[in-house]
Structure formats: structure tokens, C-alpha cells
């Protein structure tokens, strides 16, 4: 598999095998593949970058280069010797993810290449630290524009519609077109990076779940996602499917149209939950009222189309939600007739369970925040000891047979 690095990167002397691998540790055949179309192609071991190179690039990971912190650890801006800017994600030192699992994650990230997904440039596993290297995006993420009244004016309607379509294409690729079926599990505005042309790139695959070819869903003990974007059936019962991402996408669409967060407790009570409020207005024939007031010019039909798609994606009945292929057709086909959205999944979406990741055992009947469905518990516990006990930094593999 070709490393998605620039020509300057591939040719630079800095792009070398990490010292911790020089002695042959952490093997497993990752570096046996050659680049297509070249006679003396470097192996994929070239994806590993020396720790010293990243320390120099980030000024020893100084606070001045800190871009932000997340549940997986800090992200730093770096500049290579050739002047190319990068973003370095340092995975948490508390991670239980081993070197083998880390390499598997890197290999998976290399397999998924799409214009609307952030490309992996390289990685480092040295001195007990594991890092992922990505391109640096000066515009950062969608939320920095969308929820900032000064910057939001840069997102006119045509650009917002392009972003919606781009994210839909990226998710369609992950669900149906990539070499492996992947559920992202954390689609939200802050995980949509914007390039210099404000084109969207889905990022942060730390919570992503790999599905076997015939899997339609799994029941999981580890709930990973973000408050307000998680589908209730997943947040409350651990029921994970592609429709989990569809729900999150629907919430993101409504945020892009309205220019506000999906939960805003500074607003009047009926407006706090964007999904509930949009549904209410839609039932009254006033759906267009959620549109961002800063949008001076827009295509009214496209706005209503996106609102309707957002509501369809957030329906309470999971099977009624469209898949991403249908969503893409709705967005790109002017002759596509949309069904009327059913009642949205409100119950359990706004509750006391909260952000990023939580782990609970199904036997804990006193848990007042989340409840988890159980099917074939003995088998699940054995299988999840392999897949689910990895750190949340890893990309989990679905070994269960539920949902086939």
C-alpha cells in the first residue's frame, strides 16, 4: 500500500525507520509490500519517523505548538526541515494499546484513502510513545468557523452545501467503498478539518470500528462518541451500526444549516435541543426558520432539502434512517423524491451520560447513566477481551457474530 506522503517527504533523509524498530522488534510483515509502478520502491517501514525528527519539528513538543488536547492526547504543530507543516498526535501514555495493535491501526489508516478523509503521513513508536503524523490544516476544523459569528460569514451557503456533500462522500466511502467497512463513531464538527479551500476532511479515527464484511451491527460494551451526536440506541444500549454514523451526520447537517450547536443551553427551553426544535418547526411547516441568520443569500430549496435529510438521518426507528448511499443520491440528484421524516430519536439523547468514552459491564444494574443491551454475554465477553480491551486509541475489530 502506498504511503500517502508528498514527494518531498518520501525523498527526505528524515523519513526513516524509527530506532526502536532497527533491531527487528515489532515485526509482522508490515513492510513487505512495494509501491506500484516502481522498480526499487521503499517499503512501508518508511512510514515510521524517528522520534528525534518530530522533537525537532515541534520544538520538543512545546506548548507554543500545542494545537489542542483531546481524549487521546495532545496534538502539536510541527515544521519539517523541508518547510512542510505537519500535525503530530501524541497518543495517551495510559493507552493499553500494544505495538502490534498500533501497527494494525496504521495499516488500516493507509488502506482508507479518499479526498474527503485526512491522509496519514507517518507514525512513530519509540521510547514508550506512539504518535500519528498528519498534514497540518491552518483552517483547523469546521467548528472554528461554524460557531464563530465572525468566521461563519466565510461559510456562505454554497460552501456549506459543498461541505455537507463532501462529508457524505467520505462516510459513503468508509461504509461501502473502502477495502474494509468502517464505522467512524465520532462524526462531529470538530472532527471535520478544512483545507485551504475549505474542503472537508473527516479526521480522528481513534474511535473507529472495523466491521467484518457481513456484519450489519454489533452490541458493544464500550461506548465511544460525543454528547449530542451519538444515536440513542448506541449511547443507551451499545447497539452499533452504520446508522450510528448516519445519525451523527444528520446532526452535523442541522448544525451546518443553522450555524449553532446541537445542544445550546443558553437558548430558550424549546430551542435547546436543535433536533427537537427542528422537528417541531418542520411539523408546523416552518423548518426554514432554523437557517443561520447570517446567510444573506442561499438556495431555499437546497436548505429545505438538507433540513429534511438531517431529520431523516435522525429518525428514532433505526431501519428508517437512510444509508449513506441514499443520502448521497438525495443530495446530488435533483429528481430524488424524499420520504417524510418520522419522529426523531429524542429519548436518551439528552441525558446525564456524557462525552467521549465510557466503559460499563452489562451486569452493572446500578448504572444510572447508561444501560447496555446483552446478547450471548459469555461469548461476547470472551471476544471483546480481544477487541474491546484495546485502548480507545485503537481501531477495534468486530469479532462478534451478532447482526450477521
- Domain spans, the chain: 7-135, 142-397
Q: State residue 236's pLDDT score.
A: 87
CA distance 192 to 27: 33
Per CATH, domain 142-397 is 1.10.510.10: yes
Q: State residue 29's pLDDT score.
A: 32
Name residue, grid cell 449511547.
235
Residues recognised as catalytic: 186
pTM: 0.75
CATH assignment of 7-135? 3.30.200.20
Q: State residue 223's pLDDT score.
A: 67
Closest CA to 177 of 324, 30, 23: 324
DSSP-assigned letters across all residues of 235-281: HHH-EEEHHHHHHHHHHHHHHHHHTS-SB-TTS-GGGSBHHHHHHHH
Q: State residue 179's pLDDT score.
A: 84
> In tens digits, what is the pLDDT along the chain, a chain of 404 residues?
333 444 334 333 333 333 333 333 333 333 333 333 333 333 444 678 999 999 999 999 999 999 988 666 789 999 999 999 999 988 876 655 566 667 766 777 777 889 999 988 989 988 878 899 999 999 999 999 999 989 999 999 999 999 999 999 999 999 999 888 888 889 999 999 999 999 999 988 777 766 655 555 555 556 677 888 999 998 888 888 999 999 999 999 999 999 999 999 999 999 999 999 999 999 999 999 999 999 988 999 999 999 999 999 999 999 999 999 999 999 998 777 899 999 999 875 654 433 343 333 333 333 333 323 333 333 333 333 323 333 333 333 332 323 33
Amino acid at each position: 500500500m502506498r504511503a500517502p506522503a508528498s514527494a518531498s517527504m518520501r525523498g527526505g533523509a528524515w523519513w526513516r525507520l524509527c530506532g526502536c524498530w532497527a533491531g527487528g522488534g515489532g515485526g509482522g510483515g508490515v513492510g513487505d509490500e512495494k509501491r506500484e509502478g516502481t522498480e526499487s520502491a521503499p517499503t512501508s517501514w518508511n512510514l515510521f519517523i524517528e522520534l528525534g525528527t518530530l522533537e525537532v519539528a515541534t520544538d520538543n513538543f512545546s506548548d507554543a505548538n500545542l494545537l489542542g488536547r483531546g481524549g487521546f492526547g495532545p496534538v502539536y504543530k510541527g515544521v519539517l526541515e523541508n518547510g512542510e507543516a505537519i500535525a503530530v498526535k501524541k497518543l495517551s501514555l495510559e493507552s493499553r494499546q500494544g505495538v502490534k495493535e498500533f501497527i494494525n491501526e496504521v495499516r488500516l489508516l493507509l488502506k482508507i484513502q479518499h479526498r474527503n478523509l485526512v491522509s496519514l503521513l507517518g507514525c512513530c513508536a519509540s521510547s514508550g510513545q506512539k504518535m500519528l503524523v498528519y498534514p497540518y490544516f491552518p483552517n483547523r476544523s469546521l467548528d472554528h468557523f461554524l460557531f464563530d459569528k465572525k468566521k461563519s460569514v466565510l461559510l456562505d451557503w454554497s460552501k456549506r452545501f459543498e461541505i455537507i456533500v463532501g462529508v457524505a462522500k467520505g462516510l459513503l466511502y468508509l461504509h461501502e467503498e473502502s477495502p474494509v467497512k468502517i464505522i467512524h463513531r465520532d462524526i462531529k464538527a470538530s472532527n471535520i478539518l478544512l483545507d485551504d479551500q475549505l474542503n472537508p476532511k473527516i479526521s480522528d479515527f481513534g474511535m473507529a470500528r472495523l466491521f467484518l464484511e457481513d456484519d450489519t451491527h454489533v452490541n458493544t460494551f464500550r461506548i465511544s462518541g460525543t454528547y449530542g451526536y451519538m444515536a440513542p440506541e448506541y449511547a443507551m444500549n451499545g447497539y452499533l451500526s452504520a446508522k450510528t454514523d448516519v445519525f451523527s451526520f444528520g446532526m452535523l447537517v442541522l448544525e451546518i444549516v443553522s450555524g449553532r450547536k446541537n445542544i445550546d443551553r443558553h437558548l430558550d427551553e424549546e430551542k435547546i435541543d436543535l433536533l427537537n426544535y427542528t422537528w417541531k418547526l418542520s411539523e408546523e411547516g416552518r423548518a426554514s426558520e432554523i437557517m443561520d441568520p447570517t446567510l444573506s443569500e442561499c438556495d431555499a430549496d437546497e436548505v429545505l432539502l438538507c433540513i429534511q435529510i438531517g431529520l431523516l438521518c435522525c429518525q428514532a426507528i433505526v431501519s428508517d434512517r437512510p444509508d449513506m448511499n441514499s443520502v448521497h443520491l438525495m443530495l446530488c440528484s435533483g429528481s430524488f423524491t424524499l420520504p417524510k421524516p418520522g419522529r426523531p430519536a429524542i429519548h436518551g439523547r439528552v441525558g446525564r451520560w456524557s462525552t467521549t468514552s465510557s466503559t460499563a459491564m452489562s451486569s452493572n444494574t446500578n448504572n444510572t447513566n447508561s444501560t447496555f443491551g446483552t446478547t450471548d454475554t459469555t461469548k461476547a465477553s470472551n471476544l471483546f477481551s480481544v477487541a474491546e480491551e484495546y485502548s480507545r486509541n485503537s481501531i477495534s475489530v468486530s469479532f462478534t457474530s451478532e447482526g450477521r
